[in-house]
Amino acid sequence: MPKKFDQEAKGRVVRLIEDRIWAENMSLQAACKAVASKYDVSWHTVRRWVQQARKNESVGRAEEDVVAENMRLRRENRELRDVNELLKAASAFFACQAGHPHQK
């Protein structure tokens, strides 16, 4: 009968595997085999957990990137509106000056 692992346990296993990959320069397969044997679970299963965690992380990062880009674009929009208003005012001022060259 298959064992049930809660998300916290899966997360710990995934972190152990990622740590092994990084610290010991292991391949994903080798790290999964090393960690999975300690938890009495198939290395294929923990490999799927790692792949899913990586996928979820990249989706979360993509959402954060969209939010950051949205904030940057809003700020840029605001700055461009301010510059546009300044240019309109300057244009009106110089048009008025050009129409009346004797006034200063």
Non-local (6+) Cβ contacts of 21 within 8 A are: 27, 28, 31
Mean pLDDT to the nearest integer, 6-10: 88
Model pTM score: 0.55
Q: Residue holding tokens 């008025």?
A: 96
pLDDT for 15-55, tens place per residue? 999 999 988 988 999 999 999 999 889 999 999 999 999 88
Residue for token pair 């990959």: 21
pLDDT value, residue 63 = 78
Read off the pLDDT of residues 71-95 as tens digits, 9 standing for 90 and up: 999 999 999 999 999 999 999 888 8
Sign of the alpha-carbon torsion through 46, 16, 10, 58: negative
Give, in degrees to the nearest 5, the angle at Cα 14 between 10 and 17: 140
Q: Give 1's pLDDT tier (boundaries 50, 70, 90).
A: very low
In angstroms, the CA 49 to CA 97 distance is: 71
Burial of residue 17 (CB within 10 Å: 0-12, 13-18, 19+) is buried
pLDDT of amino acid 15 = 93
CB of 28 closer than 8 Å to CB of 47 = yes
What six digits make up the tokens of 54?
């990586």
